[in-house]
Chain A
Amino acid sequence: MKTIECDVVVVGAGPAGLAAAEAARLAGAERVLIVERDTRAGGILQQCIHPGFGLKMFGEELTGPEYAGRYQERADKAGVELMTCTTALELRDRELVCANSDGILNVRFGALVLAMGCRERTRANLVIPGARPSGIYTAGTAQKLINLYGDKVGREIVILGSGDIGMIMARRLTLEGAHVKAVVELLPFLAGLTRNKVQCLDDFGIPLLLSHTVIDIDGVDRLTSVTIAPVDEKRRPILDKAEKIPCDTLLLSVGLIPENELSRTGGIALSPITRGPLVNQFKQTSNPAVFACGNVLHVNDLVDHVSVESAEAGRCAALFAANRLPSASAFSTVAGPGIRYVCPQTVVADGGADVTLFFRTLVPGRRTVLRCVSGGKELARKTCIRTSPGTMESLVIPKDAVAALNDSIEVSCEHGEVLA
C-alpha cells in the first residue's frame, strides 16, 4: 500500500475541483493533488458541447469543453498535480483511501475539498409505472452517448422534465435528425433557464407541456409509447384526459442529486434539502479539515458560479492546512418566506471578506424583492425584474456586517407578481 502526503487533496477534476485546486496553490499550499476517476480532467463539461458557458467569468460564450480546458490550463500553470483513473473510496480522519490500477493508495492531507459533482435522478427515483423496455435514458446519459461516443439513441423522442439538460438534448436530438414530440413538465413552470427554452424548444417549435406528467410506459423489447396526462393543482394526474404518444425513446431530465457517498463515509453532516454538506462561508463542512464546492454542495445552474464558489473553497482549504483559517462564532442562515434553501448554512462572524449567500426561490415571480435580515437589521436587499426557482439568486453581506453578526440570518423573498 502506497502512502502520499499533500497539503490539499481535491476529489474530482470537474470545473469545481479544477478551480478549487488552482486557488489552493495560489493561496500558498505547497502540494495540491486532484484525484479523478475519469481518464482526463473536465468532468461533465466534456459532454456539454453546447455554448452558453463563461458569460460571467470570461465575458464570452464558450462551450463546456472550452470552459473546462481553460480551467485545466490554469490548474496546470499553478502547479496542481492531477491523478486520473483513480477512485476515492473512503474518507477517514486526515486520510483519503483511493484505488487505481497500482492498488490501494492512501493520501494524507492537511485539508480536503469534496468536488464530486452530482448525478441524475432516474426512473426509479420517480417510480413511473409501466413496462421496462429499452429506450429510456436520463438526459445526461443520452448526451454522453451522442456527444462523446457518436451513438444514436432514438428517432421519436419524448422528454420528461424541463431541466436544462433535457431542453439542451431536445435541440441536440433535433439537429441530429430525431423528432422531439414534446417536453413534459410536472410543475406549472419551467424547471430550467428561460434562455434554454427559447434557444432549444421555441427555435425548433418543440411543444412544452406544463402541468403534465408521464403515467404509463409501453413496449416489450423497445419502448413503443408513453401515456401522458395533465395534473391538477395537487399534482395528481387527471386520468380521463390521458393521451398515448407513440415514441421509441423517453429522456428524463428530472433533477440532479449531489453525489455524497464519499462524504458519508467520512461522517460529514448533510442537508436534507440540498443533499450536500452543511457548510459555512469558507465552504467548510462539519469536519473542519473537509471543504465542499460545486454540485456536490448544491446543484448549480451556471458553472460560472461554481468556479467562484470553488475557488473560495480551495483558498480556505489552503489556509486551514496552514492553520491560518480564522475561527469565530457561527450563526445559521434561515430559508425564510418564499425561499427553498440557503447555502452556506452558517456564517462565521469573521470580517475578513464579504459573504455571498446563494439561494433558490420557491415559485417564479416578477418584481421580486430579496432581503436578508439578522437581529432585526437588514443586511442586504435587491429587487429583481424576474426570479425563478430554476435560476439561483444571491445576496452579498458586507464584511462589516459579517463581523458584527450576533444572530441568525433570514433570507426572504416577496414577489410583486407571482407567475406560477
Chain B
Amino acid sequence: MKKTITCTVCPQGCEIEAEYTCDADIVVRGNSCPRGERYAKDECLAPKRTFTSSVRIDAPGRRMLPVRTSAPVAKEMLLPCAEAAHGIRVEGHVHVGDVIRKDFLGTGTDLVASMTL
C-alpha cells in the first residue's frame, strides 16, 4: 500500500511517501528528520491525536473547565470521547493536571484538567 502523509510534527509540513506491505515493513521517503519517519509510520499503522474539550464545572465566575487526554488517543476515538465529555460535570476546586476521568473510555489515557480553577 502507498500513502502520502503531510507531516505535522513541525511547521515545515514535509510531504512524506510511505509504502508498506505489512506492519513491520514500512518504507518512508521525503521526511527531513527522524521524527518525520516516526510520525509517518504511526500514521500508517495507528494514527493518534490528543483529545481536548471543555466540560461543565461549578466554579465561581466560570462555567467550563478545559480538559485534555494525558496522551494521544486513537484517531477514531475522538468523536466517542467528545460525546462522553458532554455528560461530565466537575465540582469544586480543580488544579491543572488533576485527573477528571481515569482511563477515559478505556483509551488507557486519563482525562485531565488543563487549567486551575
A positions within 8 Å CB-CB of B: 39, 46, 49-51, 55, 61-66, 69, 146-150, 175-177, 193-195, 197-199, 202-203, 301-302, 384-386, 388, 391
Contact = CB atoms under 8 A, between A and B. Distances in A.
Contacts of B45: none
B100 interface: no
A146 B53 CA distance: 10
Interface of B: 6, 8, 10-14, 32, 49-50, 52-54, 56, 61-64, 66-68, 75, 78-79, 82, 96, 114-116
B8 A61 contact: no
Contacts of B6: 194-195, 197-198, 202
A385 B14 contact: yes
A51 B54 contact: no
B12 A65 contact: no
A65 B115 contact: yes
28 contacts: A49-B53, A49-B54, A49-B66, A63-B66, A63-B68, A64-B66, A65-B66, A66-B96, A69-B115, A69-B116, A146-B54, A147-B66, A148-B62, A150-B63, A175-B82, A176-B82, A195-B8, A195-B13, A199-B8, A203-B75, A203-B78, A301-B11, A302-B11, A384-B12, A385-B32, A386-B13, A388-B13, A391-B11
A197 B78 CA distance: 17
Contact of A66 (B53, B79, B82, B114): B114
A202 B14 CA distance: 16
B66 A61 contact: no
Contacts of A302: 11
Contacts of B115: 46, 65-66, 69
B10 A55 contact: yes
Given A66-B96, A194-B13, A386-B13, A148 B116 contact: no
Given A175-B79, A195-B13, A50 B8 contact: no
B53 A193 contact: no
Nearest to B63: A150
Contacts of A49: 52-54, 66-68, 114
A175 B78 contact: yes
Contacts of B10: 55
B54 A148 contact: yes
Contacts of A147: 54, 64, 66
A64 B66 CA distance: 9
B64 A150 contact: yes
A200 to B, nearest CB: 10
A46 B62 CA distance: 12
Contacts of A148: 54, 62-64
Contacts of B56: 150
Given A194-B11, A194-B13, A385-B12, 12 more contacts: A39-B61, A46-B115, A51-B52, A64-B66, A66-B114, A69-B96, A69-B116, A148-B62, A203-B49, A203-B75, A301-B11, A386-B12
A198 B8 contact: yes
A195 B11 contact: yes
Question: Which 8 residue pairs of A and B lie closest in terms of their CB atoms, listed nearest first?
Answer: A194-B13, A195-B8, A175-B82, A65-B115, A49-B66, A51-B50, A63-B114, A150-B64
A316 B50 CA distance: 38
A49 B69 CA distance: 12
A199 to B, nearest CB: 6
A150 B54 contact: yes
Contacts of B11: 193-195, 301-302, 391
Contacts of A62: 114
A195 B7 CA distance: 7
